[in-house]
Structure 1
Amino acid sequence: GDPTHHCVCTPGQIQKYMNKISGPLLDRIDIQCEIQAIPFKDLSKAEPGESSAQIRERVMKARAIQTERFKDSKLIHCNAQMTDRMIHQYCELDAETLNILQTAMERLNLSARAYSRILKVARTIADIASSEKIQSMHIAEAIGYRNLDRSDWAERGL
């Protein structure tokens, strides 16, 4: 996956490497991101992003939303701990958003566990955005965090 070096591995070698991490293990990792190295010339051009204090404030708001949501539950404190029943209760999707999720599930051949993880992450993304409902952009972002689940590693040459 390094853009500065050409991969000389065959698709079979890439698939063998990726198979070292089993599907059931990958299913339990909520956020899977590929991070590309930033070329040196671009480092000095980078504009400052959101401050840590601003990010912390949004996270604290999201945690407060989750604390309120689960106040009647003794064992559940955050979205990641939701049961299947809670997922159905707190992660209701409109038709457009459900269609996006269905398409991703079918195209990427994702598991039922990945489905639940996507919904939990989308609920958290919506909480960070102070959105009462999970919207299509939240589900799309959550799907984007399932990079290692995809069955096309060998074809992509990553």
Structure 2
Amino acid sequence: MTPPPDRTASRSEASAPADAELLRLDRQVCFSLHAATRAFGGVYREALKDLGLTYPQYLAMLVLWEEGPRTVKAMGERLRLDSGTLSPLLKRLESAGLVRRERGAADERSVTVHLTPEGVRLRERALPVPRRIYAATGLSVEEGLALQALLDRVTASLDQAR
């Protein structure tokens, strides 16, 4: 018996918006991501206020809490930040007593970032932040993780497209 013809392609092509429709601002995926990022910024600013962290500092602390001491280069790769952005951020964390930077004995150009005892203790106070953010999105944790997986896939595809 022959399977029925696949009509998915023709159906999706028929219902695809016209090019002029896709050129509208509200049809731009990048703009939706931009708007969501700005909205996240406001929620994170409020959630991190009591921790004394900015959002980029929070991300740096997440890397250190999760992975332990890291070189500035490795942190920059993980966070997708260049050293010109990351170094001042780490300097502020060091001034706040949360991290210490240490030059490598074998290679003084290599700087490793370590948590201080205060930086380790801050992790406990940060534990409620992710659930607070999920609550603010209106998504369940499961929905948020599914969205994150989709965004990770989009990011990987965009990285490949460059």
With the length of structure 1 as denominator, give the TM-score of the two structures: 0.29
- Please say which structure displays the higher CA radius of gyration: 2
- Structure with more strand by fraction: 2
Q: Which one has more relative contact order, counting CA pairs under 8 Å at least 6 apart?
A: 1
More helix by share: 2
